[in-house]
C-alpha cells in the first residue's frame, strides 16, 4: 500500500501559468480533500469529494478546480497562478470515520 | 475562518515533562481529532474522540472533550525529544456536511533533551 501519493514534490510557477497537482490513493477511500497550508498556519480546505463524480467547494476554492473521475485520483488544477497561491498543498483521503490520511505535500512557489 | 483555535501557539518543555494543548471550536461536531505534523511533512492522525465521549487514551496521549464548552485538550505525558512537532485539532464541520475537516492553527511543541 502506497497510501496517498502526491506529485510533484516541488514546483515553481510564474504568475499566470497553469498546472495540475496530482493526488492518488490506493486505499479505496470514498472521501478525498485538498488543503493548503501557509507558513505557521493550520490547513484550509480548498475542495473535497465524497465519491467519483462528486465534488464540492471548501473554505478557499477560488482559483482552483477539481474533478474526480475515478475513486483513486483527485487532481487539483491551478487555472492562472498568482503569488497568493504560494503554499504547501496537501491531499488527503478518508474513511467514513473521517480519519484522514495525508500525502507528503507539494510545495508550490509562484513568482 | 478556522473552526478550531489552539493554545498555546508555541510550547517549550524539557524531556520527561507533560505537555498540554487546548483546542476550541465553534459548531456542533460528530468527532474531534488530533493530528501531528513534523517539520516539512504531512499530517499524521493521532487520536479521534467522538462527541459522546469525554476522555480517550492512546499510549502516552490523553484527550478530553467538553462539548458544552466546545473545547478539547491533548495531554502528552513523559514527553520525549521525538515528540517535537506541531499538533493540530480538527473537527468535522457542519459547513462541509461533516465530509471534510476544519483544522485549527496548531501548537508548536519543542521538547528539549
pLDDT tens column, A1-13: 789 999 999 999 9
Name the residue among B4, B60, B68, B61 with its Cα closest to residue B32.
B4
For the segment A56-65, what is each residue's pLDDT rounded down to a tens digit? 999 899 999 9
**pLDDT higher than 70, residue A106:** yes
- CA B96 from chain center: how many Å? 20
The DSSP bridge partners found for residue B56 are B63
Residue B52: Cβ-neighbour burial (10 angstroms; 0-12, 13-18, 19+): exposed
Tell me whether B27 touches chain A (CB under 8 Å).
no
Q: What is the mean pLDDT of residues B5-34?
A: 92
The pLDDT of residue A41 is 81
Cα(B104)–Cα(A45) distance, integer angstroms: 12
* Spatial contact of B15 and B79, defined as CB atoms under 8 Å apart: yes
Mean pLDDT of B77-96: 89
Q: How many CB atoms lie within 10 A of CB A45?
A: 24
CA–CA dist A37, B12 (Å, integer): 23
Q: Which of residues 23-42 of A touch B (CB under 8 A)?
A: 31, 33, 35, 40-42
State the greatest distance between any 2 C-alpha atoms of chain B, in Å, as a whole number: 43
Could you give the C-alpha distances from A52 to A30, A35, A49, A73, B110, in angstroms and in order? Answer: 8, 19, 8, 9, 41
Residue A79 has pLDDT above 60, yes or no: yes
Is pLDDT at B95 greater than 90 in this prediction? no
Determine contact: B42 vs chain A, CB below 8 A: yes
Write out pLDDT tens, residues A16-43: 999 999 999 999 999 999 999 998 788 9
Report the range of poorest mean pLDDT among A30-34, B26-30, B68-72.
B26-30
Contact B102 A45 (CB under 8 A): yes
Contact partners, residue B81, CB within 8 Å, separation at least 6: B15, B111, B112, B113
- Across the interface, whether the CB atoms of B104 and A42 are under 8 A apart is answered yes
Q: Is cis: bond before B8, omega within 30 of 0?
A: yes
Distance CA B32, CA B75 (A): 15
Is residue A105 less than 8 Å (CB to CB) from chain B? yes
The confidence band for B1, taking pLDDT boundaries of 50, 70 and 90, is: very low
Nearest CA in chain B to A37: B105
- Cβ contacts (< 8 Å) between B33 and chain A: which residues? 98-100
* B31/A58 CB distance under 8 A: no
pLDDT surpassing 60 at residue B3: no
Q: Mean pLDDT in chain B?
A: 90
Using a CB-CB distance cutoff of 8 angstroms, which residues of chain A are in contact with residue B30? Answer: 98
Amino acid at each position: 500500500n502506497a497510501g496517498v501519493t502526491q506529485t510533484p514534490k516541488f514546483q515553481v510557477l510564474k504568475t499566470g501559468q497553469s498546472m495540475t497537482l496530482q493526488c492518488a490513493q490506493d486505499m479505496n477511500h470514498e472521501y478525498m480533500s485538498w488543503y493548503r497550508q501557509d507558513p505557521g498556519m493550520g490547513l484550509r480546505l480548498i475542495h473535497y469529494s465524497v465519491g467519483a463524480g462528486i465534488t464540492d467547494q471548501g473554505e478557499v476554492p477560488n482559483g482552483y478546480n477539481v474533478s474526480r473521475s475515478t475513486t483513486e485520483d483527485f487532481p487539483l488544477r491551478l487555472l492562472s497562478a498568482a503569488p497568493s497561491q504560494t503554499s504547501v498543498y496537501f491531499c488527503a483521503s478518508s474513511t467514513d470515520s473521517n480519519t484522514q490520511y495525508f500525502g507528503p505535500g507539494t510545495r508550490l512557489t509562484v513568482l | 475562518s478556522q473552526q478550531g483555535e489552539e493554545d498555546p501557539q508555541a510550547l517549550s518543555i524539557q524531556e520527561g515533562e507533560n505537555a498540554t494543548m487546548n483546542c476550541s471550536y465553534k459548531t456542533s461536531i460528530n468527532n474531534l481529532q488530533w493530528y501531528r505534523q513534523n517539520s516539512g511533512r504531512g499530517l499524521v492522525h493521532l487520536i479521534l474522540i467522538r462527541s459522546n465521549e469525554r476522555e480517550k487514551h492512546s499510549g502516552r496521549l490523553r484527550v478530553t472533550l467538553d462539548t458544552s464548552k466546545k473545547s478539547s485538550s491533548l495531554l502528552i505525558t513523559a514527553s520525549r525529544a521525538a515528540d517535537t512537532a506541531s499538533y493540530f485539532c480538527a473537527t468535522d464541520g457542519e459547513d462541509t456536511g461533516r465530509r471534510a475537516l476544519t483544522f485549527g492553527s496548531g501548537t508548536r511543541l519543542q521538547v528539549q533533551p
